Amino acid sequence: MNRLTDLTVRESLDALNSGECSSLDLTNEILKRIDEKEPSIHAFLTRTPELALQQAKAADQKRAQLKRSGAAVPKLLGLPIAVKDVLTVEGIRCTCGSKILENFVPVHTATCVRKLLDAGVVILGKTNTDEFAMGSSTENSAYFTTRNPWDLERVPGGSSGGSAAAVAANFTAAALGTDTGGSIRQPASFCGTTGIKPTYGRVSRYGLIAYGSSLDSAGVLTRTVEDAALIFDVMAGFDPRDATTMDVPVPQIQLDNRTDLHGVRIGVPKEYFIKGIQPDVEQAVRAAIAQLEEMGAAIKEVSLPHTEYALPVYYLIAPAEASANLARYDGVRFGLRVETESNIEMFKKSRGAGFGSEVKRRIMLGTYALSAGYYDAYYGQAQKVRTLIKQDFDKVFESVDMIAAPIAPTTAFKRGVHTEDPLAMYLEDVFTLPANLAGVPGLAFCCGFDNQHLPVGIQLMGPHFKEESLFKVGHAYQQVTDWHRRSPDL
C-alpha cells in the first residue's frame, strides 16, 4: 500500500473499509505531513488537529459498532478533508480571508459541509482564500499567500488556492472550494488537481458566505475525477434553506473502467483558443482533445460568439452583487469594529480597516454600476448580455454533449506578477467566467505539463445538471493517462 498521505479518496475509503488502516492512523499521518510541510505551503488559515483526532476516533468506534450490528457504514466514514474558509463550520473560525472577520466563529454549518459530516468526514481545518473569494492567485488573502507545491515561487491560483494546494501537497485527498468565476477550476489547473464546479443550484449555498449570489457554486478539489464524483454525490441535492437550489434528482454516479467514448459528442469552441494563450497550454489541451477523439469521441468545432463579452459582463454583475452582500459588514452586528464617537465614523473606519484593496475596488465598482443613472447602462445591460451568453451554450448543447476548452491562458505565474495590475489578473479568468454566467457545470483536470514542469488543465462543460456525463468522460480520460498521478516533490 502507498503511504497513507498518498492515497486518493477511493483508496482511503477502501483501506478504511478493509481494515488496512484506521481513521486515526490516516488522520495522524496526514497531520504529521501538514506539520512538516505546511510552513512552506501556507494552505491553511485555521487548523483543527484536536477536532480531527476526536472525529477520527469517533469514526473508528462507529465503524466497529456498525460492523458488529451488520448495519450500513456511512459513505465517507473516517475520511479526512479540508474546507475552504468561506464555508461555515459551527465552532470553527471563518475569516473569508479577511481581517473584518478575523475573529468570527459561526454558530451554524454550511449545508454541503453538514452533508459530508453526516457521511462521516473528519475536518482537518479551513483553507486559505482570496479575501471573500475575490481573486485568482490567493494573493488577496489578508493573512498570507499560499504557495504552489509545484514551484514555491508561484501562485496556486484562486480563490480556492489553499484547497488546491492542500490536495496537491498531499495534505488531504479532498478539499472543498467555491467557484464564482473559475475559483475551483483555475486553481485545479495551476496545481494539477481535479475540481468540479457544479451547476448553479445543484449544491446548496446555505452557509457559503456570499460574494456573487447568482454566480457562487460550492464544489470540491481532489486528485481524481472518481474522487470528485464521490464527494459531489454526497454534497448535491435540494435544500429548503436555499431558495436557489433546484429540486432535481441527483443520479447515483456509477463510474467504471471503460474507456470507449463512442457516441459522445464534444464541442471545441474556437473563441477559447485566442491570441496570447501560452503555446504549451494550447498544445496540451489540443493533445487531450485528440486523446478523447482516439477513444471514440466525436470532436466538432463550435462557436460561443458572445464569449468576448464574458469578462466585462462578469466584472459588472459580480461586483454589483458583492457591494450588496458586503454591506452587512458594518462593524455593528459582527466582525471587526473600530470604536469611534460617531456611529457613521465607526461604520466607515471599520470597513476601511477591515477590507483589503481588492474588496474595496469591487465594492466601489459594484456600487457605481448600481447607482442611479448608471444602473440601466451598466448592470442592466450586463444582465441582457449574460442572457446571450447562456443562449450560446444552450444552442451549442443542441448539437454536442459537452464542451472541451482550456481553463487558463497560462500556467501558474510567479507571485507579485499581477498584483499591481488588476486587469491582467482579471484576464486569468477569461476562459472560466462564461460557465458561471451561464450556470453550467465545469469539470477541471490535468492534461499535461509545460516546459517548466508546471501543470496544465482542461475543462469539460456540460448542460445544466449533467455533471454525471462530465465525470464519465473525465474518468475515462484518466484511465488512459497518468497526468493526475504525478505529484510535486516537496
Catalytic residues: 84, 159, 183
Query: Sign of the C-alpha dihedral, residues 105, 108, 112, 114?
Result: positive
Please tell me the distance from the alpha carbon of residue 318 to that of residue 322, in angstroms, as a whole number. 6
Q: Give the contacts of 141 (CB within 8 A, at least 6 positions apart).
A: 45, 97, 128, 129, 130, 131, 135
Give the three cell numbers for residue 199: 451547476
Opening angle at CA 205, ends 203 and 207, nearest 5: 130
**243: region left, alpha or beta (phi > 0 left; psi from -120 to 50 alpha):** alpha
Give the three cell numbers for residue 386: 449574460
3-state SS of 287-355 is HHHHHHHHCCCEEEEECCCCHHHHHHHHHHHHHHHHHHHHHHCCCCCCCCCCCCCCHHHHHHHHHHHHC
Q: At what angle do helices 23-41 and 9-18 cross, to 10 degrees?
A: 150
Give the three cell numbers for residue 20: 488496512
CB 101 within 8 A of CB 335: yes
SS3 content of the chain, % helix, strand, coil (to 5): 45, 15, 45
